Amino acid sequence: MCFYYGYNEYLMEKLLQLFTVNEAVEFFEANEIARPVTIRTNTLKTRRRDLAQALINRGVNLDPIGKWTKVGLTIFDSPVPVGATPEYMAGHYMIQAASSFLPVMALAPQENERVLDMSAAPGGKTTYCAALMKNTGLVVANDANREREKALVANIHRLGISNAVVCNYDGREFPKVMGGFDRVLLDAPCSGTGVISKDASVKTNKGPEDFSMLTNLQKELLLSAIDSVNADSPTGGYIVYSTCSVTVEEDEAVVNYALSKRPNIKLVDAKLDFGRPGFTSFRGRAFHSSLSLTRRFYPHTHNMDGFFVAKFKKLSNKVQVEENQFIVPAGSGVKLKQKKKRRN
């Protein structure tokens, strides 16, 4: 199978652990086929029906993505480049993978909230958040890669987003530089095993050291995301963790780690009506039973990029580290009362 599909032995073995042999073949076959081009309607500027009609008038063959989204369209073919139409230039839509709608839908940002998109470039999720918030409140669009931020800024301007602030921090520093958010979205850097149809190099360029580095980074970023949320938010207190990877060590194992390190959080229903439940055990390793609330998406079953989504609710701004001892993470939005010094 390695030779036939072009994977290295390490990754092939890892992926075969996820499926039966027959389903594994379906997964590998799906990775050989490009996913459909999908766009997201920018509801700040237009409605989906009006956008669809305008594109149809230009000869574009399209359909709604599915019942699960009210803003997505699938483009089957187009006589003009989808990224060069007058509607695109005017910011009426974003070319965006259907799978990347999911974490924003799970986050469900509300009007007038303070939201952090911790790894925001190129801006599909940030601009979707802003649209759901109707350009109210604040979206902090952060990305550690300054080069990628160019596309982020361009998309924010093109789509008419006025409630976003762009910054360039290592996400792991965020509780220190800014905190007290109502909601945080972390679409974490990952191996890309869910997007092999877009990047075939993943088949051969990922080894044990890559997964070790990535999982350590993902764990650190997720703890930072959790610590950046204010549990006392009257409307929020939520964190969404997502990856475009299908490996358990980048998905359920990272979430399970966060649950063990932050007892002040719990997993909640992401309110995504499709997808498979996450693993509660894997190859003899047991995870927290609430991992069944997470969701997995596969190219061979959902015709979208492989994806993973988990949603947390933060219950308290205090983290119990030892019995009767608590810490309050910096930037959590909690002000500590200082003891007054006695005068001699």
Token representation of residue 19: 């499926």
Name the 3-class secondary structure at 24.
Answer: helix
Question: What phi and psi, each to the nearest 5 degrees, are found at residue 254?
Answer: -70, -45
For β-strands 164-167 and 37-41, DSSP reports them as: unpaired
In this structure, are residues 313 and 238 in contact, taking their beta carbons and an 8 Å threshold?
Answer: yes
CB–CB of 210/311 below 8 Å? Answer: no
**Residues that are catalytic:** 244
Strand (E) or helix (H) holding 292: none
Cα–Cα distance between 332 and 334 in angstroms, integer? 6
Task: Give the distance from CA 199 to its chain's centroid.
Answer: 18
Q: How far apart are CA 117 and CA 242, in angstroms?
A: 12
- How many angstroms separate the Cα of 191 from the Cα of each of 120, 144, 146, 270, 329? 17, 17, 20, 23, 29
Q: In one letter, which amino acid is 231? A: A
